[in-house]
C-alpha cells in the first residue's frame, strides 16, 4: 500500500469517545492541541482501542481552522480557507461523505493594473515569469548549501515585485530573506477546493465527538520517570505517552516546559521552522466591487512596492479577503483591527481608482500573530532549517511524540498535511505502547 493509503486505512478505524476515556485521570495517551493534527491523532488512537484525552487551550476545537458566523452573518474562515493539494487532501472526502458542500474552486485568476482586470496575455506573462524565477532558483541552488530564497530571486524581472508580493503575502507569510530555498522548491500544490460552510466547520464536525477538554492549558510535561505526567491548569494527568501538536511558535516560546529538558537538537528544530505572519483583512461590501464573479483571485501588478493579493466576492457573498504576510502583516497586527480595516478599505479604493467606501458594510482582521496559542499562522523552514524536519518529527524517550503542519515531509504547511502527521504519530504511539 502507498503511504497515503495506509494513513487513510488507519483513519478509517475510528470510534466515538467513551465516557471512561473522557473522565479518566490516567488515559493511555494525552494529546496536546485540538487542531487537525491533534484530532486525527485522537481518532486513530481511539479506533485502536486506547483511552485518550485531548487538551486544548482555546475555548474551541479546530486550531487554525476556525469558521465563525458572528462578524458577517454567514460562514467566514478566520484561518484555513482553501483545501489545498486536492488530489491527496483527506478533508475533501470527509466533507463529501458528511453532507458538506465541498467543491472545486472554479474562481478565475486576474492581473489587476490601473483599475482593470486582465487575463489572456497579461496573465500568461505573469505565470511564465513566476515559472522562470522558480526554475532559475532551482537550477542555481542545486548542490549548494541551503540559502535564503532572496539569494536566488531575480530582482530584474519586470514581474519580480508582483511575484515577491505573492510569495510573501499569499504563500508563506515570511520575507524572502527568511525562507529556505530548499523548502520552496519542495512545493507541489495542485488544484484547490472550497467548503461553503467553512473549512473550520468541517474540522469542528470531524472532532465533535472526541474527548476534548477545552480551555485547559498544558504547563509542564514531566517525562522523568515511567510514562508521562502532564501538568495543566485543570490538574495533573498521568499517561503512557503524550502527543504534542502545538505550533512551533508555541514550542519555541517555552510556554510548555519539559522535565527533563528536551534535547538541544529538538529545541533547535522548533526554531528552524518559524511561524510566519499571514492574515486576512476581510471586507464586506453591498456589491461585488471588482465585478469578476465569485472567488476571483486578484493579483495586483506591482512596480516598486509590495502589493497584497486578494480573493474577491468570496463564496459569492461580496466579501473581499486581502492577504497580507510578512513584515506588512506584523505591522498591521501592531496597528490593530480598526486600523487594518481602514488600511484595507483605502487599498481597495486605490486598486480600483474609484470610491467603493460608500458600499462598504463591515470588516475584520485576523491577528494570528497575537494569538498566544499559535504565535503566527503557519510554519515554514528558515534558511538551512529543512534538515531539522526529521528531528522535529522524531519522538523523545519513546513517550513524547510530535505532530503538526511543520512535521510533514512534503511541501508547505496545511491542515491536510497536519491531519496526516497526526495519523503517523498515532501509529508511532501504538508501536511504542504495544512493545
pLDDT in tens, the chain (435 residues): 333 443 444 444 444 444 344 557 899 999 999 999 999 999 999 999 999 999 999 999 999 999 999 999 999 999 999 999 888 899 999 999 999 999 999 899 999 999 999 999 999 999 999 999 999 999 999 999 999 999 999 988 999 999 999 999 999 999 999 999 999 998 766 689 999 999 999 999 999 999 999 999 999 999 998 999 999 999 999 999 999 999 999 999 999 999 999 999 999 999 999 999 999 999 999 999 999 999 999 999 998 778 999 999 999 999 999 999 999 999 999 999 999 999 999 999 999 999 999 999 999 999 999 999 999 999 999 999 999 999 999 999 999 999 999 999 887 889 999 999 999 999 999 999 875
Residue indicated by cell numbers 501592531 = 334
**Nearest one of 383, 187, 349, 348 to 272, comparing CA atoms:** 383
The pLDDT value given to residue 191 = 81
- For residue 17, what pLDDT is reported? 42
Q: What's residue 302's pLDDT? A: 95
How many CB atoms are located within 10 Å of the residue 401 CB?
28
Q: Which residues contact 34 (CB under 8 A, 6 or more apart)?
A: 54, 55, 56, 58, 61, 62, 63, 207, 210, 212, 214
Determine the pLDDT at residue 11: 47
8 Å CB contact between 172 and 138: no
Closest CA to 114 of 280, 286, 300: 300
In this predicted structure, what is the pLDDT of residue 23? 57
Tell me the β-bridge partners of 229: 222, 238
Q: How is residue 434 written as a grid cell?
A: 504495544
Task: Give the model's pLDDT for residue 170.
Answer: 92
In Å, what is the CA distance from 32 to each residue of 29, 91, 208, 366, 381? 10, 21, 16, 23, 23
pTM over 0.85: yes
User: Which distant-in-sequence residues (6+ apart) come within 8 Å of 141 by Cβ?
Assistant: 147, 151, 152, 181, 182, 185
CA torsion angle 413 414 419 425 (round to 10): 10
Which DSSP symbol is given to 177? G
Residue 13 confidence (pLDDT)? 40
Amino acid at each position: 500500500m502507498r503511504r497515503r493509503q495506509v494513513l487513510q486505512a488507519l483513519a478509517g478505524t475510528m470510534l466515538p469517545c467513551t465516557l471512561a476515556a473522557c473522565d479518566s485521570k490516567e488515559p493511555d495517551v494525552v494529546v496536546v492541541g485540538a487542531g487537525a493534527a491533534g484530532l486525527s491523532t485522537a481518532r486513530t488512537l481511539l479506533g485502536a482501542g486506547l483511552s485518550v484525552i485531548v487538551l486544548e487551550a482555546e475555548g474551541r476545537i479546530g486550531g487554525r481552522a476556525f469558521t465563525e458566523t458572528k462578524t458577517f452573518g454567514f460562514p467566514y474562515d478566520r484561518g484555513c480557507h482553501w483545501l489545498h493539494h486536492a488530489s491527496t487532501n483527506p478533508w475533501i472526502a470527509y466533507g463529501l461523505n458528511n453532507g458538506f458542500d465541498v467543491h472545486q474552486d472554479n474562481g478565475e485568476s486576474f492581473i489587476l493594473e490601473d483599475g482593470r482586470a486582465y487575463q489572456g496575455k497579461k496573465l500568461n506573462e505573469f505565470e511564465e515569469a513566476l515559472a522562470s524565477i522558480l526554475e532559475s532558483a532551482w537550477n542555481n541552488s542545486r548542490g549548494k548549501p541551503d540559502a535564503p530564497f532572496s539569494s536566488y530571486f531575480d530582482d530584474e524581472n519586470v514581474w519580480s515585485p508582483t511575484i515577491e508580493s505573492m510569495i510573501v503575502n499569499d504563500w508563506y507569510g515570511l520575507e524572502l530573506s527568511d525562507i529556505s530555498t530548499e523548502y520552496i522548491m519542495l512545493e507541489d500544490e495542485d488544484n484547490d477546493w472550497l467548503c461553503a460552510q467553512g473549512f473550520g466547520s468541517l474540522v469542528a464536525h470531524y472532532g465533535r465527538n472526541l474527548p476534548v477538554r477545552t480551555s485547559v492549558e498544558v504547563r509542564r510535561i514531566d517525562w522523568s520517570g515511567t510514562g508521562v505526567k502532564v501538568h495543566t491548569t485543570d490538574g495533573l494527568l498521568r499517561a503512557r505517552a503524550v502527543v504534542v501538536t502545538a505550533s512551533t511558535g508555541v514550542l519555541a516560546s517555552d510556554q510548555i516546559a519539559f522535565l527533563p529538558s528536551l534535547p538541544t537538537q529538538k529545541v533547535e528544530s522548533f526554531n528552524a521552522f518559524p511561524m510566519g505572519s499571514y492574515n486576512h483583512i476581510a471586507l464586506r461590501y453591498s456589491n461585488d466591487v471588482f465585478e469578476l464573479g465569485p472567488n476571483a483571485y486578484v493579483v495586483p501588478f506591482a512596480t516598486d512596492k509590495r502589493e497584497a493579493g486578494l480573493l474577491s466576492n468570496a463564496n459569492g457573498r461580496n466579501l473581499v479577503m486581502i492577504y497580507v504576510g510578512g513584515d506588512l502583516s506584523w505591522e498591521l497586527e501592531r496597528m490593530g483591527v480598526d486600523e487594518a480595516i481602514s488600511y484595507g478599505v483605502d487599498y481597495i479604493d486605490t486598486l480600483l481608482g474609484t470610491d467603493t467606501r460608500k458600499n462598504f458594510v463591515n470588516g475584520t482582521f485576523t491577528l494570528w500573530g497575537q494569538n498566544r496559542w499559535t504565535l503566527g499562522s503557519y510554519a515554514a523552514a528558515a534558511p538551512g532549517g529543512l534538515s531539522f524536519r526529521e528531528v522535529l518529527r522524531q519522538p523523545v524517550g519513546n513517550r513524547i511524540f510530535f505532530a503538526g503542519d511543520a512535521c510533514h515531509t512534503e511541501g508547505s504547511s496545511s491542515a491536510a498535511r497536519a491531519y496526516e502527521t497526526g495519523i503517523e504519530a498515532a501509529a508511532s504511539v501504538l508501536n511504542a505502547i504495544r512493545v
